[in-house]
Amino acid sequence: MGQSGDARKAGSLELLSVNFNQDVTCFACGTNSGFRVYNCEPFKETFRREFNNAGVGIVEMLFRCNILAIVGGGAAPRFPPNKVMIWDDHQGRCIGELSFRSQVRAVRLRRDKIVVALEHKVLMYNFADLRLEHSTETLANPHGLAALSPAPEHNVLACPGLHCGQVRVELYDVRRTRFIQAHAAALACLTLSQDGRLLATASERGTLVRIHSTADGSKLQELRRGADPACIYSIAFSRGAEWLAVSSDKGTVHVFSLDRGRAGAPGGGAAAADAAAAAGGGAGAGSGGAADGGLRNPVSAFSFVSSILPMPYFASERSFAQFRLPEETRSIVGFGPGPATLVVASLAGSFYTAAFDPERGGACEQRSYCKFVELEGDAGA
């Protein structure tokens, strides 16, 4: 998960991207003069590498090890933007590279694979020898949408398909490909759970997040961020996939409770919602309304206008907890090491931790705030 594109300036420094590692214990940011790595808990700068005003646009960590994938960026790139450089920080140099005919849009890592997203193609390489193992054509993918399951027991890749709103899911362990028509509009964000069993997607409309099973492609849950269109910046599953967090340009991080019972039932989303409504667990059900004792996101209570708004509006679930950011800027969200905790990093150079009540939900409590980069104008604020 990461954000890039809208550089933010701090004097002569520009933040080009920010990206969590696979288990959200660290994050890295690319700047117009190198890159920096930070530890989330406790928060501290781990190291930085400066390249004499030469920029790094993408920094992808491999958990907490010394190997990173970096791509040049900014006005004066340190490396060509069409190359992925494998950086060994113990040696302080590149130990391998992958070269392409077009600009690299994103890189994803797991311990045995490297995935590179280009404008119209996603490629997978073996990490040990950089051998190409698989490539697939995609619809135009300027934001480099691609997700790779980090857990060793499952090797799953998700990327855009060849049709608007479609996701292609590669289940490499069973040599199977799934095509999921997740949205009618173009995709804006997608992510996988740690084990690759669940896929979460949002479209450019930014009102709904949908959860699908990667095993059979069935829709399991539909989550409503809001009624107004929004630009979704990031989506994150908790480690056990009990929760889902979403950040957007509206300045609020939304946390949703995931239905673990429904996640194990292929075919599920709408049918399960209908069954719940028939049993009296429909509109207005709160966290205590689940027949199986699980938590529930509230659903729309405005059933009296159902003749005006489409029915899917009422089937979707609203967020269980919310964290309002003091600043409206590009941000990424993840789940912290503690129970029911969030971590948020932004291109404004801010890092937040927050906690939510896993029983009652509602507003999150901000636990800490750090400014890891002082931006131009901050001193007078």
Q: How many domains does the chain have?
A: 1
Structural tokens at position 197: 């069993």
In terms of residue numbers, what domain contains 101?
2-380
What's the confidence (pLDDT) of residue 259?
A: 84
DSSP 34-91: EEEEEETTTTEEEEEEE-SS-BEEEEEE-TTSSEEEEEE-SSSBSS-TTEEEEEETTT
What's the confidence (pLDDT) of residue 159?
A: 98
How would you write the pLDDT of the chain (381 residues) with one tens digit per residue?
566 655 555 447 889 999 999 999 999 999 999 999 999 999 999 999 999 889 999 999 999 999 999 999 999 999 999 999 999 999 999 999 999 999 999 999 999 999 999 999 999 999 999 999 999 999 999 999 999 999 998 999 999 999 999 999 999 999 999 999 999 999 999 999 999 999 999 999 999 999 999 999 999 999 999 889 999 999 999 999 999 999 999 999 999 999 865 544 333 443 343 333 333 333 333 333 333 445 666 665 444 444 445 545 446 799 999 999 988 789 999 999 888 999 999 999 999 999 999 999 999 999 999 999 875 555 544
DSSP 237-291: E-TTSSEEEEEETTSEEEEEE--HHHHTSTT-HHHHHHHHHHTT--TT--TT--T
The amino acid at residue 302 is F
- Looking up residue 119, the CATH number of its domain turns out to be 2.130.10.10
What's the confidence (pLDDT) of residue 71?
A: 98
Report the sign of the C-alpha dihedral through residues 313, 319, 325, 329, in that order: negative
